[in-house]
Amino acid sequence: MSKQIWLCAALALVACGKKDGDKAKESKAPPVAIDIAAVNALVPAALKDKIVFEQRTIELEQGRKHRKFTLAVPKNWTLQDKMFGMVKADDKGGFFSKLTIGDSCGGACEAGKDWAKVADGEQFANRAKGKVEKDDKGAGRRTMISVDDNTKVTNVNTAWWTDGASRYFDCSYDLDESIKDAAPAFEKACSAVNVEGDD
């Protein structure tokens, strides 16, 4: 009897170890290169005195969960909300300009969801009601650039995910009409984001 109990415990330990290992593998994507010079090179000459990117780490605190996002962010833009990942532009960036960075589970955080569908419902469907200037769909990611018909704010939004993961990630820049021509630079900024932190 004791041998059977020991065997069951050993099998359970192996199964748990495998599960934990899979979770760690899922959450630790290889780091991507953040090329600040290339991002700044895409800022139009007329806006270079207003928009200068630097590498920045944005740390979010959502209850007991802490997560860090490292990416290209304009200098002097300030973190306004550590829970919802909102970074507000300075005066040079315009009143409506901001960065929103974070993750979402689309409800319960469960592995195996159709993240393309979830991200479409949460991030893209509503923005697609405006003028869509770009909608690039790829394996494990999507980028849309759209303009709100009412506010004239340009939104640059990239979502990315891994098959089997329990959440997806999102980087979204809203651009005041005064800096809309720098959209390609903001798109490149959202294309390379490193994520660290709790699952």
64 shares its domain with 148: yes
Structural domains of the chain, count: 2
Instruction: Give the residue-averaged pLDDT of 25-36.
Output: 73
**How many CB atoms sit inside 10 A of residue 111's CB?**
13
Mean pLDDT of the region 146-169: 95
Q: Are residues 145 and 95 both part of a single domain?
A: yes
Mean pLDDT, to the nearest integer, of 166-186? 97
Q: How many CB atoms lie within 10 A of CB 38?
A: 15
8 and 76 share one domain: no
Output the average pLDDT for the chain: 87
- One-letter identity of residue 105: C
Confidence band, pLDDT 50/70/90 cuts, at residue 4: very low
4 and 72 in a single domain? The answer is no
State CA 92 to chain mean position distance: 24
Is residue 26 domain-shared with residue 42, that is, in the same domain?
no
- Apex CA 176: angle with CA 100 and CA 128, to 5°? 65
Residues 12 and 92 in one domain: no
Q: How many CA atoms lie within 13 A of 181 on its CB side?
A: 9
Query: By residue range, what is the domain housing residue 17?
Result: 1-30
Q: Which CATH number fits the domain that encloses residue 117?
A: 3.40.1000.10
Quote the tokens at residue 67. Answer: 């997560």
Query: Residue 26: its pLDDT value, please?
Result: 42
Give the model's confidence band at 68: pLDDT under 50 very low, under 70 low, under 90 confident, else very high: very high
pLDDT at residue 41 greater than cutoff 60: yes
Say what the pTM is. 0.84
Query: What is the C-alpha R_g of the chain?
Result: 20
The whole-number pLDDT of residue 28 equals 52
Q: What is the pLDDT of residues 92-122, one digit of tens each?
A: 999 999 999 999 999 999 998 999 999 999 9
Question: Do 61 and 78 reside in the same domain of the chain?
Answer: yes
